[in-house]
Amino acid sequence: MGWLPGAASTYAADLDRIFYVILAVTGLVFIGVEATLIYFLWKYRGREGRKAAYIEGSNKAEIIWTVTPAVFIVGLAVASQSVWSKIKSPANFPTDAIEYRVEARQYAWGITYAGADGVLGTEDDFTRFNEMHVPVGQPVSFELTSADVIHSFFVPAFRIKQDAVPGLIMRVWFEATEVGEFALACAELCGVAHFNMGGKVIVHPQDEFERWVAEQS
């Protein structure tokens, strides 16, 4: 559907599928409830000579409208668990991912890269602000934290949205499937200049990415 950003990561389609299932079910429920409401408004409208009557509640109806949503929610949780685990559980992260470190602060993203030695946490590491450069078709993972208040790392095209919390290190990964520039935003109100906390993820072909790293180093 055109009202969602184009999917540009390996797991975006899985998340979209879950979203559309929820949208379809809740949409049908909404239409059914509104249609029933309109029907009842018409059927039980005021008429000459009709008197209001008290109607006892129905235990059967209450059980049905309590159990039905519960079954759907539990079923959705079970069906989506494998996707959630793949995306959020560090134990399932790709083992060949390139490592980064991302620190959010009012009002910028600081992205630390491994230098020429390819190892994060050594002397040739370098940091750039508001630009995350990654290779296409290569998993990347990063430690995400905040230096001040809660922020939220949000790349709509990759279907990533992860809070950055002061004092905590969150693990995040993705694999871009398209070359290009993609918007990076803070999705958590983080202060008076929150609106200005923007950045971009730049996805390069592999050889171009390697040249860019070499130039920075």
What does pTM read for this prediction?
A: 0.84
**75: region left, alpha or beta (phi > 0 left; psi from -120 to 50 alpha):** alpha
H/E element, 198: strand 198-204
pLDDT band (50, 70, 90) for residue 2: low
User: Residue 118's pLDDT is what?
Assistant: 81
Q: Give kind and range of the element (H or E) at residue 42.
A: helix 12-43
- DSSP reduced 3-state for 95: coil
Contacts of 66 (CB under 8 A, 6+ apart): none
Higher-pLDDT residue of 154 and 122 is: 154
User: What does the pLDDT look like over 69-88, one tens digit per residue?
Assistant: 899 899 888 988 999 999 99
Q: What is the CATH number of domain 94-216?
A: 2.60.40.420
CB of 101 within 8 A of CB of 119?
Answer: no
The predicted structure's pLDDT at residue 1: 47
Q: What is the pLDDT of residues 44-59, one digit of tens each?
A: 887 888 787 777 888 8
Q: What average pLDDT score do residues 18-22 get?
A: 91
The pLDDT tens digits of the residues spanning 184-204 come to 999 999 999 999 999 999 999
Q: Is 180 in a helix, a strand, or coil?
A: strand
Q: Which of 168, 132, 129 is nearest to 150 (CA)?
A: 168
Are the beta carbons of 173 and 159 closer than 8 angstroms? no
Averaged confidence pLDDT in the chain: 91
pLDDT tops 60 at residue 115: yes
Question: Which residue is associated with the tokens 């559309």?
Answer: 20
Domain boundaries, the chain: 12-90, 94-216
Beta bridge partners of 155: 160
Whether the link from the prior residue into 107 is cis, omega within 30° of 0, is yes
